[in-house]
Amino acid sequence: MADSNDQGGVASAADVTFRTEGLTRVYRTGETQVKALDGVDVVLLTGQLTVLLGPSGSGKSTLLNILGGLDHASAGRVWFRDTELTRLSDRALTRYRRDHVGFVFQFYNLVPSLTARENVRLVTDIAADPMSAEEALERVGLLARMDHFPGQLSGGEQQRVAIARAIAKRPGVLLCDEPTGALDSKTGVQVLEVLDQINRETGTTTAVITHNAMIRRMAHRVLHFSDGRLVREEVNDHRLAPHEIDW
Ligand SMILES: Nc1ncnc2c1ncn2[C@@H]1O[C@H](COP(=O)(O)OP(=O)(O)OP(=O)(O)O)[C@@H](O)[C@H]1O
C-alpha cells in the first residue's frame, strides 16, 4: 500500500520544497578543475524523506551543501519554496540557513564541555519559534540523559543529540549527510528510526545521504547520482520502517 505521503508523478508547486535547474558546481584548485555537479535538475518534495545514493565523489554532499546554503552554485539555479537561493546575498543565505535548515553530519559536532541539553539550547536560544530543548531531546528518546556530557554518551546517543539540536528550531528541512556513517548497524538503525519518526510526526522535508543502499527502503523517493549527475529516480510505494529492513 502506498503511504499517504507518497507523491509519484508530477508535483504541484506547493508540494515542492527544493527545485534545481541545471545546477553545476565546479571546484578549481590550482590547475585542476573538478565538476562536482554537472547540470542537475532535481526536486525534493515537501514532507518526504528522500535518500541520495551514489558512489564516493558523485556529488551528493555538494548538492546537500548547496541546498542548505553552505556552498554556492557555479551555474544553474536553486529554489527553496518561492525563494531563489542562487540570487541571495551571503547575508540572506545565512538567514535562510538559520531559519529553515537543520543539518546532521556524520560526526556529531557537539560541544564536549556542554551537556546534551546545553548543546540543544545553543540553537533554541537564537531561534524564532523553537521547541524547548527538553521536547527536542524527548523526541529523540534522550530526555533521561539530558544532563549528560557528550563523552558520557554512546556514538548513537550523541548523534541523537545532534538530531535534537537540528530539529529544535522546527526547521522546514532536515539535511543529513551520512548520519549513520560512523555507527555500527544496530545503533545506525536506532538513529534512522528517529529520523523516520521525526519525518512522520513533524512532516519535515528530509534528505539523507548514505552509502548503504538498503536505507533506500525507508525513503519516499530515492535519487541516484553518478559523476555529478542525477542518473535515476525511484518512487517507493512500499516504505519500510528501519527496523523492518533486512540489514
Ligand atoms: N571544496 C572542494 N574543493 C575541491 N574539490 C571538491 C570540494 N568538495 C568536493 N570536491 C570534489 O567534488 C566531487 C564531489 O564531491 P562530493 O563530496 O559532493 O561527493 P559525494 O558523492 O558526497 O562523496 P562521498 O560519498 O565520498 O562523501 C569529488 O570529486 C570531490 O573531490
214 lines ligand 1 (CB under 6 A): no
* Residue 155 belongs to a domain: yes
Distance (angstroms) between ligand 1 centre and the Cα of 197 equals 30
What is the reported pLDDT for 11?
A: 64
CATH number of the domain bearing residue 70: 3.40.50.300
Q: Structural domain tally of the chain?
A: 1
What is the reported pLDDT for 185?
A: 87
Ligand 1 atom closest to Cα of residue 62: 18
What is the reported pLDDT for 200?
A: 93
Low-confidence ranges of the chain (pLDDT < 50): 1-8
CA distances from 214 to 2, 30, 206 (A): 19, 38, 17
Burial 151-190 (b: 16+ CB within 10 A, else e): eebebbbbbbbbbbbbbbbbbbbbbbbbbbebbeeebbbb
What is the reported pLDDT for 14?
A: 66
Give this complex's ipTM: 0.96
* Nearest Cα residue to 119 out of 157, 150, 154: 150
Amino acid at position 211, single letter? H
What is the reported pLDDT for 59?
A: 97
* Residue 175 belongs to a domain: yes
* Residue 235 belongs to a domain: yes
What is the reported pLDDT for 247?
A: 77
Q: For residue 102, give its domain range.
A: 16-244
* Residue 7 belongs to a domain: no
* Residue 6 belongs to a domain: no
Ligand 1 atom closest to Cα of residue 59: 18
CA distances from 59 to 33, 65, 199, 223, 227 (A): 14, 10, 24, 12, 7
Residue nearest to atom 5 of ligand 1 (CA): 27
* Nearest Cα residue to 91 out of 69, 110, 108: 69
59 lines ligand 1 (CB under 6 A): yes
* Residue 3 belongs to a domain: no
* Residue 65 belongs to a domain: yes
* Residue 51 belongs to a domain: yes
Contact 37, 228 (CB under 8 A): yes
